[in-house]
Amino acid sequence: MSTGKVVGSFTEAVADIEDRATLIVGGFGLCGVPEKSIAALAAKGCRELTVISNNCGVDDFGLGILLANGQIAKMVASYVGENSIFERQYMSGEVEVELVPQGTLAERMRAAGAGIPGFYTATGVGTPVADGKETREFDGRTYLLERALGGEFALVKAWRGDPLGNLVYRDTARNFNPLAAMAGAVTIAEVEELVGVGELDPNEVHTPGIFVQRILEGSDYEKRIERLRVREAQA
């Protein structure tokens, strides 16, 4: 099926995400996060979600909104600092966390989307990450077996997209989004600009529409900056 991916509202886009669903969410820090889909999930109120995402937002933005609502039961991430609500819920046992090295997390998503059940990596050998994992030696070096990591739904954010689900990202807002798009059984893509079929240069498509099941345009993106750093102008 290659038609009918455009949905009319964010409420509709997330309507079948139920309690205890597993979601893969794009973004790095607050950059490239699917802020409109997250807001719709917060409004829907589904609970006990397992969320796989590099980070967990800040207290009042990004995935932090779902945490504050008590909607997340488990986070799979590489770094969860910057979030005091997370810290409190983790310490009290409300939220379970599985920490995964960032490159391993990206590759596990890619593998899930690419039909590769597992892969070997040297990352984490001899560290707590290796606990309970199969190891194997190749050419004299030890590697860990890491498993693919997919989910029922993926929420991704792109700059531009078309009704076929083709996506183009902007600058470092790409990050985990193409991998999340591959790893979700149902991938919901929100874009800043939805253009007509044929308006995206096929040479410049980052995520081919085959990985996207639903697409819609968001408006009034906040795109919050987590750490503003500027330099002085030279005299």
Partner 1 sequence: MSASGADAPSARTRIVRRAALELREGMNINLGIGMPTLLADQAEGLAGVLLHSENGLLGIGPYPLAGEEDPDLINAGKETVTAIPGASFFDSAESFAMIRGGHIDLAILGGMEVSQAGDLANWMVPGKMVKGMGGAMDLVAGAKRVVVIMEHRTREGESRVRRECTLPLTGRGVVDRLITELAVFDFPRDGSMALVELAPGVSLSEVEEATEAEFEPTPGLTGS
- 8 Å CB contact between 177 and 37: no
Distance CA 19, CA 48 (A): 6
- Which lies closer to partner 1 via its Cβ, residue 46 or residue 182? 182
Residues 142-181 that bind partner 1 (CB under 8 A): 159, 169-179
Rounded to a whole number of angstroms, the minimum distance from the CB of residue 162 to partner 1 is 19
Residues 202-221 that bind partner 1 (CB under 8 A): 206
Phi and psi based region of residue 43 (left: phi greater than 0; alpha: psi -120 to 50; beta: remaining): alpha
Residues 6+ away with beta carbon under 8 Å from 33:
25, 26, 27, 57, 62, 63, 157
- Range 27-46, binding partner 1 (CB under 8 A): 28-32
Cα–Cα dist 210/57, whole Å = 28
Taking residues 96 to 115 in sequence order and writing x for each that binds partner 1 by CB under 8 A, - otherwise, the string is -x-x-xxxxxxx-xx-----
Decide: is 116 part of the binding site for partner 1 (CB under 8 A).
Answer: no
C-beta of 138: minimal distance to partner 1 in Å? 13
Binding characters for partner 1, 179-198, by CB under 8 A (x = yes): x-------------------
Non-local (6+) Cβ contacts of 59 within 8 A are: 68, 83, 84, 85
227 binds partner 1 per the rule CB under 8 A: yes
